[in-house]
Amino acid sequence: MKYYLDTNIWVAAFIAKHPQHISSKQLIADCLEQNIEIVTSAHCLAEVYSVLTKLPGAFRIPLEMAVKLIESNIINKCRLVDLTYTEYVEIINDAAYKNLVSGAIFDGLHIKAALKAEVNIIYTNNLGDFRRFDIPERIILSSPDLMH
């Protein structure tokens, strides 16, 4: 089994006061305990860093801690998938064709990386955002809140 974890899963797992903290953290723990391969995109590293270091007030993570969280929990425990220039262009064209703007492109990049890694399940806390892109029926789209 291979699970793809979206940026918002990692952010929720790292922020104790996040509404999906418990379910996201449990998903990661379950994957590690059950030897399920965790996959995410190299792009996700930058997104996680960006979000953790720009959160408002008490939620903001210090820069050094953000780097340590990313290294110890994502880089050292996951398979990271890189996308090619051509794959970026395909997602940009797909987003434009679907009239999707702004950060929607990042969901498309996550889906493209998940497809490239041939995962079984994509986990996100934003199911609606991901449904805007075409996901083959062989891949399940789910949320950690739906697990328990």
Place of tokens 């050094």: 64
Place of tokens 């050292």: 76
Stretch 76-85: mean pLDDT = 96
pLDDT digits (tens, 9 = 90+) for 118-132: 999 999 998 988 899
Residue 148 has pLDDT above 60, yes or no: no
At 147 the pLDDT is 66
Stretch 7-22: mean pLDDT = 95
pLDDT-based confidence at residue 59 (cuts at 50, 70, 90): confident
Number of domains in the chain: 1
pTM over 0.85: yes
Q: Which domain holds residue 17?
A: 2-146
- Residues 3/31, Cβ–Cβ less than 8 Å: yes
Tell me, what CATH number does 142's domain have?
3.40.50.1010
